[in-house]
Amino acid sequence: MRIAQHKIDDHNQALMAAHQRAFQYLSGEIDHVQDIIQQLVAFQVGIPSWALGTGGTRFGRFPGGGEPRSLEEKIEDVGLLHQLNQSSGAISLHIPWDTANNPAHIKAVAAQNGIRFDAVNSNTFQDQPGQTHSYKFGSLQHVDKAVRQQAIDHNIEVIRQGIAVGSDALTVWLSDGSCFPGQLNFRQAFQRTLEGLREIYAALPDNWKMFVEYKAAEPNFYSTTVGDWGQSYLFSSKLGPKAYTLVDLGHHLPNANIEQIVALLLMEGKLGGFHFNDSKYGDDDLTVGSIKPYQLFLIFNELVEGMDARDMNHATDLGWMIDASHNVKDPLEDLLQSVEAIMISYAQALLVNRKKLLAAQEQNDVVTAQEVLQQAFRTDVRALVAAARLQAGGALNPLALYRAEKVREELIRERGAKTMATGL
């Protein structure tokens, strides 16, 4: 479904006076307001196709109704989010869940919705119906060459499908690892995985990137073959210039200093992409910014500082994606909240007084350094983010309009109460 433009206009008109009051107050405090707004307008976050349905846990799943039944409907849902916030202009596909039988048609649906295709994701963490070999003991690390070859062929097929829809990156997340000590020879598992990744890398078009995503634990609970940023960096360095590390916020051991990891990967030119989410205990896949908003700000602070140091384009030089799951919320509402949290953290990072911070660091003035960061973090930038949305043609309050228009009710009417989207 689409929301009629006049409904967005009416919504904005009703909120305009309050918005302008907040914006005027804020813009008086900030230098270069228009430059910041332009950066916010340009910044787009990819929406994962697998997060458009209600997620579940290994204990159960409680679908909410009106979930997309096809790839077309997934793209329409992202188009709807983008219509509301103008910051969700890309979808990240997961193969085989999102295999497009008619890529030209799928590209046309995406174009109608103003959506482009972000990184495509392969899947060797599950066995698919009719699959010859099982991934029970891993895919690219597997002791049996036939299993490894099946995983390599699948990834090359994902690249082929990505090319057909106009994507330009492959994300490889491997669940490979071991559950018990002694199960795996770590060095051999690494070497076999590297060998497989090299074959996949060789199939990448010139303008493509490969993102090597790491994860500390789960589904394997003793070792993971791409378990942390060091292992991912080893793989991406050995593979070559088109390979990068992808940081998923939920894939670290507790209390890891993710902002430091980001800073160093950027310094080495090896940070390729991001999966945003939040967590309390592990890979909880919770709404971005719902648990640790200060950490998210600190990560964005390093991203902005590190990207500026390398003269990178904030909007286009890294892959920005959400990777989350929604067990109890309406997935579309959750995604609106997630994108808003990302935009708020990005805006706050743009406000950091970098000269003052650098001077404080040079003077060992710890108190001032903290003050500089917290001055930005404690600034309520919501009117700034809303101003960017307004300028781009979105809604001043996307979530409020989503609810006022009874979007979920309409989707349930269109698609049924018992639909269940493919995904996690």
- Which residues sit at the interface with Mn ion, rule CB under 5 A? 248, 275, 323
Whichever of 305 and 334 has its CB closer to Mn ion, that residue is 334
Two structure tokens written together for 153: 């062929």
The closest of 392, 384, 387 to 86, measured between CA atoms, is: 392
Residue placing its CB nearer to Mn ion in the complex, 88 or 279: 279
Residue 193 near residue 158, CB atoms below 8 Å: no
Tell me whether residue 323 or residue 340 sits nearer to Mn ion (CB atom): 323
**Which residue's CB is nearer to Mn ion, number 46 or number 394?**
46
CB of residue 250 vs Mn ion: minimum separation in angstroms? 7
Question: Strand 116-117 to strand 56-57: parallel, antiparallel, or no bridges (unpaired)?
Answer: unpaired
CB 272 within 8 A of CB 318: yes
Nearest distance from C-beta of residue 171 to Mn ion, angstroms = 8
Nearer to Mn ion, 11 or 275 (CB): 275
Q: How far is the CB of 316 from Mn ion (least distance, A)?
A: 20
Take residue 68 and report the two structure tokens written for it.
């997309």
Distance between CA atoms of 261 and 253, rounded to whole angstroms?
A: 13
Q: Which CB sits closer to Mn ion, 66 or 289?
A: 289
- Tokens of residue 289, six digits: 């910014």
CB of 154 to Mn ion, least distance (A): 18
Choice between 212 and 360, CB closer to Mn ion: 212
Largest CA distance in the chain: 66
The pair of three-digit structure tokens given for residue 287, joined into one six-digit string: 């709404």
Closer CB to Mn ion, 115 or 172, in the complex: 172
Q: Residue 175 CB, nearest distance to Mn ion (Å)?
A: 11
d(CA 45, CA 35): 19
Shortest reach from residue 213's CB to Mn ion, in Å: 6
What burial class does residue 280 get, using C-beta atoms within 10 Å of its C-beta: 0-12 exposed, 13-18 middle, 19+ buried? exposed
Per the CB < 8 A criterion, the answer to whether 215 and 284 are in contact is no
**Assigned token pair, 169:** 């990156």
CA nearest neighbour of 49 among 94, 105, 101 = 94
Closest distance between Mn ion and the C-beta of residue 123, in Å?
Answer: 12
Shortest spacing between CB 78 and Mn ion, in angstroms: 17
- Beta-sheet strands, E only, within 53-194: 56-57, 60-61, 90-92, 116-117, 120-121, 169-173, 177-178
Q: Which is nearer to Mn ion, 98 or 248 (CB)?
A: 248
CA gap 70, 79 in Å, rounded: 14
Q: Residue 38 Cβ, how far from Mn ion at the closest point, in Å?
A: 29
Which residue number, 94 or 270, has a Cβ lying nearer to Mn ion?
94
* Burial (Cβ within 10 Å: 0-12, 13-18, ≥19) of residue 378: exposed
Listed as own residue / partner, the contacts of 39-43 with beta carbons closer than 8 Å and 24 or more positions apart are 39/314, 39/315, 39/346, 39/350, 40/87, 40/343, 40/346, 40/347, 40/350, 40/384, 40/385, 40/388, 41/86, 41/388, 41/391, 41/392, 42/314, 42/315, 43/87, 43/314, 43/315, 43/320, 43/343, 43/346
8 A C-beta contact, residue 262 and residue 271: yes
Name which of 176 and 323 has its Cβ closer to Mn ion.
323
**Minimum gap (Å) between residue 308 Cβ and Mn ion:** 26
Distances (CA, A) of 116 to 91, 177, 207: 6, 33, 16
Look at residues 240, 155, 143 and name the one whose alpha carbon lies nearest to residue 191: 143
- The least distance separating Mn ion from the CB of residue 165, rounded to whole angstroms, comes to 20
